[in-house]
């Protein structure tokens, strides 16, 4: 195991202790299963159970609901440290905390919180269902329809690319109750896995984060009680936008962890690899590449931590979240690519960890808002 994380000036003692505890958990419990989970493209149920036992699935959830009652920054630190070992497990934790739980905390009724937050603290994985085949970056072009049937709604349609789909017991689903109103008809619904007319469809066979399930969701006359509308009818677009703004910081934290893991693996390798009678770490060309990696890594960390701090303090963070995700995803891919280069031929094989970090990093520029969408957000704010 690597030595304990050395405190940075912008982390409190409590945060450092938490970060180290998560790192130890990731090293001891997750790392031994990383290759197997990646090869089988399946999350270990034992890992999910241990995440709940560690309290890592309810970091911000108030103590009265069984959570830790902590901060958004703590959630990001957990995502970072888990991603340092495995990007797949980190995104499961990320979606649970920064998307689904955050949406419940801000938008759910007291009755909904009383019912679902304890379950999500103990055993229920959550999933966030917005994307469809024709609505990716254009998130509000969704076609999933919700018809008002008096005391309930009936949902018909499909969702695609839903993270945690295979593990989730509760889904935050966005559907349109009145397509004539456009995005103003979009409404959020809490759908349980066992609801009649709902099922999880095919699982995608992905390039990276392979153990993280990405699935289709099928709604065939799915009956949802009116008590399971989250927020107000027609306000789903607002819930979706605000939740994704927060979630982007979590993806930045994931990219930070992946980049950190790749950098550490590269450092260890270049120290041990010998060419021309000496360690390749002694060559200036290699040292300069390591310095570039380290500089970009620090920039990711500062951007991500700053955005998380702003969120916790109640300040405007939308632009900082977009900048953090944009830079973190680009820099993580670059750091991992440089790592593959420094591993040489070994970096192109599955015998060494760097190729997985490289594969896992790519998704950061795509999900929870593509890089182009982040650029658009930043430009719009600056020009307003």
Could you confirm whether 319 is annotated as catalytic?
A: no
E strand residue ranges, the chain: 125-129, 145-148, 152-163, 168-176, 186-192, 198-203, 214-225, 229-230, 274-275, 278-279
Burial (0-12, 13-18, 19+ Cβ within 10 Å), 381: middle
Which one of 147, 246, 368, 382 is the catalytic residue? 368
What does the longest C-alpha to C-alpha distance in the chain come to?
79
Q: Using alpha carbons, list the distances in angstroms from residue 228 to 171, 190, 191, 203, 291.
A: 11, 5, 7, 26, 52
CB atoms near residue 111 (< 10 Å): 9
**What residues contact residue 95 under an 8 Å CB cut-off, 6+ apart?**
126, 127, 128, 163, 164, 247, 250
To which residue do tokens 């890089």 refer? 371
Length of the chain: 384
Q: Rounded CA gap, 100 and 128, in Å?
A: 6
Enzyme catalytic residues: 368
């Amino acid at each position: 195991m690597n030595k304990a994380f050395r405190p940075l000036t912008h982390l409190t003692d409590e945060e450092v202790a938490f970060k180290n505890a998560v790192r130890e958990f990731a090293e001891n419990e997750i790392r031994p299963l990383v290759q197997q989970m990646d090869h089988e493209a399946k999350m270990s149920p034992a890992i999910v159970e241990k995440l709940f036992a560690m309290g890592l699935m309810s970091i911000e959830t108030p103590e009265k609901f069984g959570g830790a009652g902590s901060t958004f920054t703590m959630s990001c630190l957990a995502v970072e440290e888990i991603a340092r070992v495995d990007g797949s497990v980190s995104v499961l934790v990320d979606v649970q905390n920064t998307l689904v739980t955050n949406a419940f905390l801000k938008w759910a009724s007291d009755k909904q919180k009383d019912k679902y937050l304890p379950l999500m603290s103990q055993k229920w994985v959550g999933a966030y269902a917005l994307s469809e085949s024709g609505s990716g970056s254009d998130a509000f072009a969704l076609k999933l329809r919700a018809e008002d049937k008096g005391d309930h709604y009936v949902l018909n349609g499909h969702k695609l690319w839903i993270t945690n789909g295979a593990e989730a017991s509760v889904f935050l689903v966005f559907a349109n109750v009145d397509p004539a109103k456009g995005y103003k008809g979009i409404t959020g619904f809490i759908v349980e896995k066992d609801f009649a007319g709902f099922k999880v469809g095919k699982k995608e066979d992905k390039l990276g984060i392979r153990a993280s399930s990405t699935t289709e969701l099928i709604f065939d006359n799915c009956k949802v009680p009116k008590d399971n509308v989250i927020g107000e009818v027609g306000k789903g677009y607002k819930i979706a936008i605000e939740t994704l703004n927060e979630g982007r910081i979590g993806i930045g934290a994931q990219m930070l962890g992946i980049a950190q893991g790749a950098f550490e693996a590269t450092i260890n390798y270049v120290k041990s690899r010998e060419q021309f009678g000496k360690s390749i770490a002694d060559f200036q060309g290699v040292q300069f590449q390591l310095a570039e990696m380290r500089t970009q890594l620090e920039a990711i960390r500062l951007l991500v931590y700053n955005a998380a701090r702003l969120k916790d303090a109640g300040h405007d963070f939308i632009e900082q979240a977009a900048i953090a995700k944009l830079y973190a995803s680009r820099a993580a891919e670059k750091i991992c690519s440089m790592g593959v280069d420094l591993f040489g031929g070994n970096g192109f094989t599955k015998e060494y960890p760097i190729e997985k970090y490289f594969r896992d990093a790519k998704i950061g520029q795509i999900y929870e808002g593509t890089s182009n969408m982040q650029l658009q957000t930043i430009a719009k704010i600056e020009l307003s």
